[in-house]
Amino acid sequence: MDTDLIIDVKDLSKSFHKKPAVVGLTFQVPRGEVLGFLGPNGTGKTTTIRMLCGLLTPDSGSGHCMGYDIINETALIKSQVGYMTQYFSLYKDLTIFENLDFRARLYGLTDRKKQIAQVMEKLDLERRKNQIARTLSGGWKQRLALAAAVLHQPLLLLLDEPTAGVDPNARRDFWELLHGLASEGTTILLSTHNMDEVERCHRIIYMSQGKVLAQGGLKDILAQVNLTTWEVKGPNLPLLTRQLEALPAVGLVTTFYSTLHVSSDNRIALEQAIAPYVKNPNYQWQLTHSSLDDIFIWLTKTRSEYRHDR
């Protein structure tokens, strides 16, 4: 096993009540990388995270997390991993300091006060240390949850939808904290639905129905898909949508506010199919860059035809 890899798993699979949740998952993550797990709800992202940190046992497959076997050495993994859930799970009637002190006792830290002071300073929590957790805003609850997850200085930080329900400013600040941790050597794996967060990850794994559809850097995935997209503006877009979706050469029609994105992986066939509609003076057509939403909706829709497993 490569000692520079924090995660190295092969062919992981997990089912619940005979329904596959994760199928044949293989990937590696080096130290200090921020890896984003993307995909629709119920696609296996959380199941994968829980297998990696020893909370679930795979039905099949093998791998190591921080050098420990994910099946036989789960206790050692749990002691060195930080896990932040989607929903705030600390004690709402305790102060920030009391929550962190309680977590430090669970970790068995020998110099609790020093380590609590260090993490509060790093995450700018010192001035609020006596504030009751339930009175915190979403962004500050998020900081507290992150502080609790990294209090024992884990090598790996697992985040499950960490910015759900948080305003854009708090999300930006949170990402600055994450990249600061990554620059110090912490490996971060997170699941997210927010497309604006994708660009902040070093690499992406996109999953659907428990399978990996694409993985790599953002530019790699854009190149892999090679999608052509036209933007359309004009009246009665719902009717135009139905007309375009009936054309075999049109692979995807997506509504974005007052415009449509019309996409296909066959540029020539797409242009021939939409030519009569482009001539209609009531509509304004413009060739545009495929958005992240276009790419990932396309991957989900065409999962049976498109696979790229590295």
Domains of the chain: 5-221 (3.40.50.300), 228-289 (3.30.70.920)
Q: In what order do the strands lie in the sheet with 259-264?
A: 252-256, 259-264, 228-233, 284-288
- Which whole-number Å values give the CA distances from 245 to 153, 199, 241, 250, 279, in the listed order? 51, 30, 6, 6, 18
Q: Give me the mean pLDDT over the 217-243 stretch.
A: 90
Determine what percent of the chain is predicted with pLDDT higher than 70.
96
Q: What is the mean pLDDT of the chain?
A: 89
Tokens encoding 68: 């420990």
Indicate the pLDDT class of residue 261, thresholds 50, 70 and 90. Answer: very high
Give the confidence band of 169 by pLDDT, cuts at 50, 70, 90. confident
Q: What pLDDT is attached to residue 2?
A: 52
Instruction: Answer yes or no: is pLDDT of 78 > 90.
Output: no
State the burial class of residue 91 (Cβ atoms within 10 Å of its Cβ: 0-12, 13-18, 19+).
middle
pLDDT at 192 (0 to 100):
81
Q: Name every residue whose Cβ is closer than 8 Å to that of residue 185 and which is 6 or more positions away in sequence.
A: 31, 32, 155
Torsion on CA atoms 123, 127, 130, 133, rounded to nearest 10:
-40
- pLDDT computed for residue 263 by the predictor: 95
**Helix and strand element counts for the chain (H, E):** 10, 14
Instruction: Assign 193 a pLDDT band (cuts: 50, 70, 90).
Output: confident
Query: Mean per-residue pLDDT for 159-185?
Result: 85
